[in-house]
């Protein structure tokens, strides 16, 4: 029996505290209650269907209720839902580790599970810190990108930064922040080539200044998602890899958002043919079904932790649900759906999105920029694009735009006044048209342009 929607709303208003939400606004508005889903559509309590335009916060990959993933979870449920990896092995966690090592950028042979992107990043940071200590070096500093986003636990927040999200918390670890090329381009008004060179020069200066004290460089490769979809030129990542080698430090690539096909390839690193020392995965790992994340490490890092028990060099880290069997079974089924045909379809889908955006969104008066990498898209809105004058935060232009889209049957979630489109990889050609058309109409309605 399903609970009446008005009862859900009463409970929600009385007791639920929503993530990334000003609850004062939430309590004053009528919430949309999603009761079910079907493929690329969410279904509300009244049976109305909405295109899931941001993949349920960037994680749904193959659509909802995919029979193959549903069946894999059911089959696992017939055996067991969860057993611990502390002292015990399990079939789905072992098989998934082998599969991930086989498809990940080369050299990433070891898989450490957790249950959120943020925890995957915490693990990467802790592995880096302990790795250097085990090698007899005291290295506590990280180098990270300005306005990087790596999740909301304290360590992950320390290497990330966003003024409104982070202003009540001081970093737990010393961090040097360097701009990605896009930031240089945007804040200093320089051309892309010069911005790339300047960003690399700043990174090199930071690495040279604290040589021997930097545990790792942490980046979101190819696209800084939560900053507002800030793209990187593809040359940036191999140059960062080269610099981290030259200055003898580790490279952490956070592919929690970019992994699993989002950029048009399985991993963003694949575009640049590089492999980091540590790779974090989350969001799409389980197809967007269950909380599962992974930190992949090289054999070299793994081997540094080996030694007699009594030396206590082990990685003393774990979560109750590390390697959860249902989540790993979902992830295995999701990986099976990454057929050559699916991967081959991604460039055409990205091109179709770009064509629609060019035709319908780019001409709108208050669209200052459209940023796209694969199926990750940011549409930035400003009061005066020519003078780069933003809207006032209290106007809630991004938020009002997604409410306008919702009335037209598309669920979106903005980043400030940047409208984000990140449809599931399973989106069809006609749905791409609907998605972009609704985005355009909603922007026009709210900005009057």
Give the footprint of ligand PLP on this chain (CB under 6 A): 116-118, 121, 149-151, 220, 225-226, 254, 256-257, 282-283
Residue closer to ligand PLP (CB basis): 149 or 289:
149
Q: Which is nearer to ligand PLP, 228 or 282 (CB)?
A: 282
- Considering the complex, state which of residue 217 and residue 440 has its C-beta at the smaller distance from ligand PLP: 217
CB of 41 to ligand PLP, least distance (A): 23
**Residue with Cβ nearer ligand PLP (264 or 431):** 264
State how far the alpha carbon of 141 is from the alpha carbons of 215, 221, 241, 245, 346, in Å: 6, 20, 18, 16, 38
CB of residue 276 to ligand PLP, shortest distance in Å: 13
- Report the run of H or E that residue 352 belongs to, with start and end: helix 340-356
Choice between 51 and 292, CB closer to ligand PLP = 292
259/285 Cα distance (integer angstroms)? 8
In the complex, the smallest distance separating the C-beta of residue 270 from ligand PLP, rounded to whole angstroms, is 17
Q: Report in angstroms how near the CB of residue 150 gets to ligand PLP at its nearest.
A: 5
Using CB atoms within 10 A of its CB, is residue 1 exposed (0-12), middle (13-18) or buried (19+)?
exposed
Nearest residue relative to ligand PLP (C-beta) = 117
Specify the residue, 129 or 281, whose C-beta has the smaller distance to ligand PLP.
281
- Which of residues 216 and 444 has its CB atom nearest to ligand PLP in the complex? 216
Least Å distance, CB 387 to ligand PLP, is 31
> CB of residue 234 vs ligand PLP: minimum separation in angstroms?
18
Contact call for residues 92 and 325 (beta carbons, < 8 A): yes
CB of 254 to ligand PLP, least distance (A): 5
Q: Which is nearer to ligand PLP, 181 or 282 (CB)?
A: 282
The answer to whether residues 81 and 306 touch, using CB atoms and an 8 Å cutoff, is: no
d(CA 95, CA 83): 15
**Cβ–Cβ under 8 Å, residues 177 and 159:** no
DSSP secondary structure string, 296-330?
Answer: EEEHHHHHHT-S-GGG--S-----TTTT-HHHHHH
3-state secondary structure string, 373-433?
Answer: ECCEEEEEECCECCCCECCCHHHCHHHHHHHHHHHCCEECCCECCEEEECCCCCCCHHHHH
228 CB-side CA count, 13 A:
17
- Shortest separation between residue 319's beta carbon and ligand PLP, angstroms: 12
Question: Which of 19, 136 has the CB closer to ligand PLP?
Answer: 19
SS3 assignment, position 175: strand
The 3 state secondary structure assigned to 5-66 is HHHHHHHHHHHCCCCCCCHHHHHHCCCCCEEEEEECEEEECCCCEEEECCHHHHCCCCCECC
């Amino acid at each position: 029996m399903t609970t009446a929607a008005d009862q859900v709303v009463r409970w929600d208003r009385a007791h639920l505290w929503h993530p990334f939400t000003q609850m004062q606004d939430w309590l004053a508005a009528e919430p949309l209650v999603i009761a079910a889903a079907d493929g690329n559509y969410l279904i509300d309590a009244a049976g109305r269907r909405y295109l899931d335009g941001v993949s349920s916060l960037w994680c749904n990959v193959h659509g909802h209720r995919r029979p193959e993933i549903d069946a894999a979870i059911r089959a696992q449920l017939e055996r067991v839902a969860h057993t611990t990896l502390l002292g015990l092995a399990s079939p789905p966690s072992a098989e998934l580790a082998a599969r991930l090592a086989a498809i990940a950028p080369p050299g990433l042979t070891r898989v450490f599970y957790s249950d959120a992107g943020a925890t995957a990043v915490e693990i990467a940071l802790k592995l880096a810190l302990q790795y250097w200590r085990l090698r007899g070096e005291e290295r506590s500093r990280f180098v990270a990108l300005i306005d990087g986003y790596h999740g909301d636990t304290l360590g992950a927040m320390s290497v990330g930064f966003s003024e409104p999200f982070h202003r009540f918390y001081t970093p737990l670890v010393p961090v040097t922040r360097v701009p990605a090329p896009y930031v240089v381009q945007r804040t200093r008004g320089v051309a892309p080539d010069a911005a790339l060179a300047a960003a690399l020069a700043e990174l090199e200066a930071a690495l040279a200044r604290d040589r021997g004290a930097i545990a790792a460089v942490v980046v979101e490769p190819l696209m800084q998602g939560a900053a507002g979809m800030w793209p990187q030129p593809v040359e940036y990542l191999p140059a960062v890899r080269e610099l981290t080698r030259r200055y003898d430090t580790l490279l952490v690539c956070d592919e929690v958002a970019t992994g699993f096909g989002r950029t048009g390839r399985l991993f963003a690193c694949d575009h640049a043919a590089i492999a980091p020392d540590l790779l974090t995965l989350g969001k799409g790992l389980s197809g967007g079904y269950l909380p599962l994340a992974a930190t992949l490490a090289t054999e070299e890092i793994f081997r540094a932790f080996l030694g007699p028990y009594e030396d206590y060099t082990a990685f003393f880290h774990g979560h109750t649900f590390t390697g959860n069997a249902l989540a790993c079974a979902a992830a295995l089924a999701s990986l099976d759906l990454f057929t050559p045909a699916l991967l081959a379809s991604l460039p055409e889908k990205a091109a179709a999105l770009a064509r629609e955006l060019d035709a319908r969104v780019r001409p709108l008066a208050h669209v200052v920029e459209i940023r796209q990498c694969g199926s990750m898209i940011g549409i930035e809105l400003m009061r005066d694009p020519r003078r780069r004058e933003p809207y006032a935060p209290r106007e809630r232009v991004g938020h009002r735009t997604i409410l306008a889209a919702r009335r037209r049957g598309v669920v979106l979630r903005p980043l400030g006044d940047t409208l984000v489109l990140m449809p599931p990889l399973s989106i069809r050609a006609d749905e791409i048209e609907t998605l972009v058309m609704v985005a355009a109409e909603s922007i026009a309605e709210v900005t009057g342009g």
